[in-house]
Structure 1
Amino acid sequence: MLKLMIVEDEELLRMGLVTCVDWADLGYEIIGEAGDGEKALKLVEQNPPDVIITDIKMPRLNGIDMAEKLKADYPGIRIVVISGYDEFEYARRALKMGVSEYILKPINLEQLKKTVVELRMEIEEERKKDREFMELKSMRYEDMQALRQQMYTKLLLQKCSVEELGDYIGRLGEPVLDRYYGAGILAIEGFPVISMECDYLHVIDMDRSLEDFVNRTLKGLYGEDGQNGLTVLRANAGERILCICGESPGEVKQEGRRVREAFGTFNEETGPVELFFGTISRGLEGLHQSYLNVRKDSEVRFMKSLAAPDSSGSAFSSFDLPEFDKENLFFEIKSGSPQGIEDALRELQDTLSGRQVLSYMQLVLIITNLYGECIRLPEEAGGNAEEILGDPRQYYQRILEKKKRNDMIEELGRACFLIHAYFEKISGSRYKGIMERAAQYVEEHYSEEGLSMGDVAAYAHVSVSYLGMIIKNETGQTFIEYLTGIRIEKAKYFLKHTNMKNYEVAIACGYATPSYFSTVFKGMCGMTPSEYRNG
């Protein structure tokens, strides 16, 4: 509701204006009425209205003088002046000073209603534009930084491609693809090992201390204006990712030095901290590569500090076990059986038993890294770990709490069985639907030489590995075998029912050369294309 005030010295007319119009229906609420201009000004001071309907001739202070005072102190108030035919000079003066509307007596209520409705629409449109302007204005440093944080998080932590970030790039309105980037990792020194001796609340407290330390340091470095070239992401507890953006490699390098000097090497609340930077590259792809570079470097440094040589003299250099076929475990989770999962986990136990794993932290990293890959499997089918496990961190916390290898693997198995149940639940009709979309796409594009499983998976909205599993389940074939079968069946049709030459059939079926087509055809049919046509 807009606020309306009526100022009229004739009480009968004033009461008529108040009571004879359904103001609420017009979008107004009457907040006051006055018999002269002086009283009206006092009411306005207490509660300024949006619109004032006023007579011109009034005792003490007339409507025109009142309007002049209001325009000086309250320029946003719309004023509708009521006047008789014999008050032309007043009317001209009123229009000259910017009164919104001028209505002659005797008052036509329909004209009055139309006037105030038009004023309401004008005010609402003006306020809408003001809101839009303020919203744009409010997208200052904090909002732009939040947008950058979201974009960098999707790129670095959620593994989105640069093409998938088009909406963020457009909203930022910056030449992000032409700038130079460097990524760094700031972490509490030895945090993974330290956290093993802490409970969950203590871990949160240490991470909060790191957050406070980062905020204080950046405020001291950049002041209240903020750091336009630096964006901080929270990846894991006890560490932060620093993304530096600049117009040149030198600018990024210089900013990196400033940041390194500002953070130093020690924080009273968290203890020693370490900061590593990756390579400097151009474009968002460069930022992603810089992050991969510094992430690998930090993992190698950490693993070297923990690694214990085995009987062959080698040491763990990554979180994976090369001897363990984790893809087999993933296959059993997605399309195998509970027994298959148990067998794969038993194989994991045997593999770990066969290695001289002397570091407890190594064991934790190996198993939790495997857990991290397992909980990402539902994404291949359009799901997510939260809808299956609730809070995946709870399972991770349980793994951390275990002190024995078998107990850790048992906790990993609980998550594996739940994810397997999810894949079983969505199989059947979902498999059929995906297979139908894949078959349709292959039917329409089999003639394209470069047709790949990636193209088909993108059309079916699933991952390549998940599509391969479905094709195998539904047809008993690999994707290449399935595609080759389709092409050869099409070739048979062309050879039998058309006069196309062999090389034309080859091209129509997605083969660049007749010789390769002939080889594939003979391998599938036991005869050459010419022999098949003649037969």
Structure 2
Amino acid sequence: MDNYKVVLVDDEVEVIDAIEQRIHWDILGFEVVGSATNGVKALELVEKQQPDVVITDIKMPYMDGLELARRLNKEYQNIHIIIFTGFDEFEYAKEAVHLEVEEYMLKPINALELTECMKRLKKTLDKEREERLNVTKLENYLKDSLPVLQTNLFVSLIEGRVNEEYCEKFLNAYQIDIKGPYYCCAIFHTSEHHVPDGMNPLLLAMSVEHEIKDRLAPEWKNHMFTYLGNALMIIELETEEMVVAFTDACDRFCKWAYRVMGAVVTAGIGRVCDNLISVNSSYDGAREAVSYRVLYGTSRAINIGEIAPKEQEILIQPEDTKMHDLFKAIHLGVPETLEQSVRKEVEKLHNNAQTVNQYNLAIMEMVGAFYRFCANNFIDFNEFCGNVGNPYERVPEMDESTLTAWMIDSAKAISEELKNARNSTSRRMVTDAQNLVHDRYMEPNLSLDTVCSALGVSNSYFSSVFKKETGKAFVTYLTDYRMDHAAELILETNEKSYQIAERVGYLDANYFSYVFKKRFGVSPSKYRTEHLKK
């Protein structure tokens, strides 16, 4: 497998260069994937690179090594931390031990000492990786699956086969404590096509389920089981809004599973419901969310309530269930899949009809299904059926090839309309976020978290949509907007840097100057001098 990733953090660039050059990282089984000169930049780098090890100094500007260690322990508990410093103080060492730091080393760093430290750490990391992928351990875990009766009840719930009269009876009989008041279903789909060498796909899926129980499940009141090869979780929520935080937690897990285990996991999050009997509708939404991985990518969480607003749900009448695959393909919008689905429908149509009357009746039902599907998604089918006039009259007269071509063209047109509606929703969300920045950029606590909270969406979904629409990360957009406004204030007023810093949302004048120089290449005072001369 690949070398373990290391990030170096020290405000002295010379120290970073020396460590990077004097240690034979590749021979030791490590790779330095980046470096940072303070804790703030280090957190950004950790989010991007997802390292296994962070080696950091203690005393640094903006965010010291101990605060960085606290943040890493809270947000990335699997990362191993090595702290070094030139300050030989017992309190630092005691705090470092409290933070479960791997090693505490004094400057100047001895290459031999650090090499031995990395050798010990390599053994620890190898052991952790081996434990996660140990076939014997996974086979034993497979035998310890959830009790059969409980699993059967949960399966019956998501399939909609339990009525309200008997639900409470079964819950009590099987000793299942589930109170709500809100419920949501999540599906964790592990790809069978991306499996580490020598690993059985089934065992990898069970390993993922085991890690979900260890890392994700303890944070949420949930009931977990396996169904159709996927790990499912029914979670209980105090409020409907809590599903946003749950989505972000699932997203972090999916990224961790890919980085550490090599497993490609997609989490589909269904809609929140206020009745356990209705959890089957949440399960249906979770299944649809997983299918959207062809559009939004894998190794992430996809919340159906975010990507498909209420009016964009796949609404299908009971009599249209036979065309579910076609309607699902229309929503996904993948041309190849859509054409295949149309050809299958036409083939079934001709194979099943024994008489002309049966064929005409089936055609009428198919056209009716299209009308209902469009109506349920708030669009007019007449606008997407070409120049055929009245489909009920013209479509039965078409031969097989003409019918196939007409259905493909109509389906693609409907799919494009749904896609435009989704894009419009995404653009509206980005515009709302930009307006929040314009109105509240002067507030020091304005951040990705506060904006997502105001919009009611998860960080993962918002971040991907914002970058896709604007070409830059939200934090970069916020920083650029603040800096552009600061530049205007520098030239239009006589205020000092610390006053301007406060007006654009920075309580620390030194950090403001650092960010300003990073953006414009000069300090605020020099920026004023240079531009006022012109």
TM norm structure 2? 0.32
TM norm structure 1? 0.31
